[in-house]
Structure 1
Amino acid sequence: MNTRSQTPIPNVDDTTGEYATFARVQVDRWRDGQRETVEDVVAEEVPIALEYNGISHAVMMATPADLEDFALGFSLTEGIVATPGELYECEIVPGCEGVQVQMRIATERFVALKEKRRNLTGRTGCGLCGAETLEQAVRHPKAVAQGGAQFTVQQLHAALEQMQARQQLQQATGATHAAAWMDAQGGIVLVREDVGRHNALDKLIGALAEAETDFSQGAAIITSRASYEMVQKAATVGIGFIAAISAPTALAIRLAEETDVTLVGFVRRQGHVVYARPHRLR
């Protein structure tokens, strides 16, 4: 007997017509040895197929929101396009099993993409799935521009609290990461959320690139560890300051030193650790 669910993926909010980012489920909650049946809110996780010029490139598990931002950010941080203008079209096509993001990019970029012979299958939080060589796995972006915005310790900690207050999906589900942009004045101006930490950063970068933001005049704050790929994505587009709630990896620190990215970890109330290039934090 086929017990497979026939519920379409992703679900669509009947009120807004947009993809639902969460679902409501009945659960048995146990506390102090007592059980109660209650309604819980859980984050949606949907396969997102990224296609370039009709060819499938990657399937990522992601939250089905801000997918245009995700498409542009992923294209930039993976080096598939060099500028937003090289992404000519982006169409979001829902299906029963997930969402197709159909993009058309410049011919020379598509030729270069095919030569890489990469065919990713991404999982939530997965960074380098599908890289075929060591050279593909560890890319070395050029150093970010000298100078750029500087911040005080007080601005950094205040921005962390601002970001947390704007994580609506995390507050509802407890299951998502966020990436936020702190502008040169120290305020949080944009937040993107996703079940995957890489996806949240890609969404943030895509939204900022679409708005023609100067990446040297701000900082990215992330609610995860600062892995190599998080630093690589930031450096690729010219972000010179990245602050993480959790720890970095040793490879991430080496890449931050190499690309002149200020890297701060364990950003919590009244505390943080500077791991690389401290000159942007006063």
Structure 2
Amino acid sequence: MKTIHTYTNGRLEPKEGAVVREFPLVLHVNGRELATLVASPHELRFLVAGFLRLQGFVASVADFHVLSVCEDFGIASVRIRGELPERLKPVLTSGCGTGITFNLDMPEPPLQATTDRFTPAAVFRLMEELARRAEGYRSHGGIHSAAVGDAFGNLVLFAEDIGRHNTLDRIAGEALLKGIELAGKMLVTSGRVSTEMAAKAARLGISLIASRTSPTDLAVRMCDDAGICLIGYVRGGKFTVYAHQERLLIEQSVGAGCPRPGRGDRAPTGAPHPIPGVTGVILAGGASTRMGSNKALLPYRGGRFIEAIHRQLAELFDEVILVTNNPEQYAFLPCRKVPDLFPGMGALAGIHSGLSHSANPAIFTVACDMPYLNADLIRHLAGRADRGGVLIPESPGGLEPLHAVYGKGCLAAIEATLLTGERRIVSFFDRTNVNKVNAEEVARFDPAFASFSNVNTPEEYFRLRGGEQGGAVGQGPEVEWASSRKL
């Protein structure tokens, strides 16, 4: 740990934090110094084995006579079957930290060409799992991660390292030493897909590569030649396909609501622009015990209750996420659905999941049973989002945490609180920045504070429907005001 400084809201503050380590490993093969691999100091044998495999020097475990790593002196000693080429011409690649490779030529295609196809839902699922496991980046930044999964998005192997090319070497080495077949799998990565990444993936028989960022033009060309589906900018329920889109089963996944099929649920032309930098999050948890059935699915405004809330948020935010542990119940909603990462921990776990999965630095959260959302109030709150803390409105009943804005800077505080078993939303407030919007300011947009009303019982629901038929929709006078607070 060392003293570092964080810049938030115009303030520079010192804090104790971890810094990612960088470890040089000198590689000797058959008594010859081959290269120095600069990497993260863990599971170095996987890194060495994968590096030699992807350079074409070994193809099986039987090709190794000796594989020894001395971490004290930073030396890997390897003896392999056969001899190294007399002259090796290293190539400096565009990998972060400058990757080194000896063979960038397109490898021969696998003996059995794969015809695997993938749904967008599977791509999103594996990318979300990658984000969940990338603890190194959350704690101090500077770490790349990669994962390999099957056609359903189930994770097979995961690796992280300071170099994105090292992550794939690690996966290749672990697969080799453990006898795991990678042909036909999909690869997701946190870093840019450049030429050496595409070449290594092709050598492994990977069928699909997806990244949260962009590929290079040569990587696109290489994936075109190798038959690899190449996807970039996977975020917020969207992505861009750069090669072999025919490997995607688009028509089978649209109904599942994972990728956003189009902009049909966005505001019409001439409407205000979506609120930048903020994701709308609907919390669909809760047992609905007082209602006797799932209140989110009750008939309302020609559809289901939750559809009306989704439409309102889709007009305000470019990304809308539904937090639910039962995504099959909400397949009709054209938005991404994510589960709790701390199941059984109530609304606080829902806020945590929404923040973890958001492509934006802040989220606006709302419960699935709040019928009188006020667009002007939401724009006012979201426009003041603090990515490092909480912005929470007050009503005559107190704080309203289920109609508030949370920044990703809250994640560590929320996780620490959940790990103690505490479920109350306000229980993490003393660990982070909290700014309040007082009731007087809220009343300028919503004098009746109807935004915070929710529907919990059949009586409240029928009063709501009665008010709708009587022309009071959106004003809330026919509904007995009940705070949404679940502190």
Q: State the match for 2:109 in structure 1.
A: 143
State the partner residue of 1:217: 184
What secondary structure is seen at the aligned counterpart in 1 of 2:165? helix
RCO comparison, higher one (Cα < 8 Å, 6+): 1
1:72 counterpart = 2:58: no
C-alpha deviation, 1:208, in angstroms: 1.6
- Corresponding position: 1:127 with 2:104: no
Q: Give the Cα–Cα distance (whole angstroms) in 1 for the partners of residues 119 and 7 of structure 2.
A: 44
Instruction: State the identity %.
Output: 29
SS at match of 1:209: helix
1:188 maps to which residue? 155
Q: Tell me, which stretches of 5 or more residues in structure 1 are unaligned?
A: 1-23
2:35 corresponds to = 58
Tell me the equivalent position of 1:117: 88
CA distance in 1, matches of 2:92, 2:68: 20
Q: Does structure 1 residue 37 correspond to structure 2 residue 53?
A: no
Question: What are structure 2's unaligned runs of at least 5 residues?
Answer: 250-487
The amino acid of 1:70's aligned partner reads L
- Alignment partners' CA distance in 1, 2:33 and 2:121: 45
Which residue of the other structure, out of 203, 211, 218, is the alignment partner of 2:170?
203
TM-score by length of 1: 0.80
Distance 1:66-1:124 versus aligned 2 partners, 3 A rule? farther
Moved more, 62-71 or 141-150: 141-150
Corresponding residue for residue 25 of structure 2: 48
Structure 1 letter corresponding to 2:61: P
Shift of 1:264: 1.3
What is the aligned residue count? 247
Which deviates the most, 184-193 or 139-148?
A: 139-148
CA offsets per residue over residues 205-247 of structure 1, 9 Å max, x none?
A: 1112222222223111111111010000111122222111111
Deviates more, 1:30-39 or 1:62-71: 30-39
After superposing the two structures, state which structure 1 stretch, 82-91 or 198-207, moved more: 82-91
The Cα of 1:158 is off from its aligned counterpart by 1.5
Residue correspondence of structure 1 range 213-252 to structure 2 within 5 A: 213-252=180-219
User: For residues 46-100 of structure 1, what are the alpha-carbon distances to aligned partners after superposition, in whole Å with 9 as ceiling and x for unaligned?
Assistant: 111121112111112110112111111111111121333212321111235xx11
Cα deviation 1:150-169 (Å, max 9, x = unaligned): 21001111111111101121
Distance of 1:42 and 1:207 partners within structure 2: 26
- Change over 3 Å in CA distance of 1:240–1:149 after alignment to 2: same
Q: Is the 8 A contact 1:43 1:175 kept in 2?
A: yes
**SS state at 1:239 partner:** coil
Classify the secondary structure of the residue corresponding to 2:173.
helix
**What's the TM-score once normalised by structure 2's chain length?**
0.48
RMSD between superposed Cα atoms in Å: 2.2
Q: Which residue does the alignment assign to 1:18? A: none
CA shift in 2, pair 1:49/1:262, >3 Å: same
Q: 2: CA distance between counterparts of 1:279 and 1:83?
A: 32
Would the aligned equivalents of 1:159 and 1:188 in 2 still touch at CA under 8 Å? yes
Q: Secondary structure at the match of 1:115?
A: coil
Are the equivalent residues in 2 in contact too, given 1:30–1:36 (CA < 8 A)? Answer: yes
- Equivalent residue for 1:92? 69
Q: Structure 2 residue aligned with 1:105, among 80, 93, 96?
A: 80
* Conserved? CA contact 2:147–2:155, under 8 Å: yes
Distance 2:232 2:119 in 1: 15
d(CA) in 2 for partners of 1:57, 1:120: 13
Matched residue type, 2:85: K
Which of 223, 226, 229 is equivalent to 1:259?
A: 226
SS at match of 2:85: helix
Q: Distance in 2 between matches of 1:91 and 1:224?
A: 29
Partner AA of 1:115 in structure 2 = E
Question: Which residue of 2 is the match for residue 171 of structure 1?
Answer: 138
CA–CA separation in structure 2 for the residues paired with 1:102 and 1:256: 34
The 1:127/1:248 distance shift into structure 2, 3 A limit, reads same
Structure 2 SS opposite 1:202: helix
Q: 1:243 to 1:85 in 2, by over 3 A?
A: farther
**For 2:35, what is the secondary structure of its paired residue?**
strand
